[in-house]
Amino acid sequence: MNYLHYKVNAGPTKIIKVSLSDNANVRLLDTLNYYKYRLGKSYNSSSEHTDKIACTFTPPHKGEWHVIVDLAGQGSEVRAFVEVVDGAQKL
Count H helices, E strands: the chain? 1, 5
pLDDT at residue number 76: 74
Q: Tell me how many degrees the CA angle 44-3-52 measures, rounded to the nearest 5.
A: 75
pLDDT at residue number 48: 85
Residue-wise pLDDT tens digits, 20-44: 998 889 999 999 999 999 999 999 9
Low-confidence ranges of the chain (pLDDT < 50): none
Contact 28, 66 (CB under 8 A): yes
pLDDT at residue number 46: 85
Query: What does pLDDT average to over the chain?
Result: 89
pLDDT at residue number 36: 96
Q: Classify domain 4-86 by CATH number.
A: 2.60.120
Domain boundaries along the sequence of the chain = 4-86
- pTM for the predicted model, two decimal places: 0.88
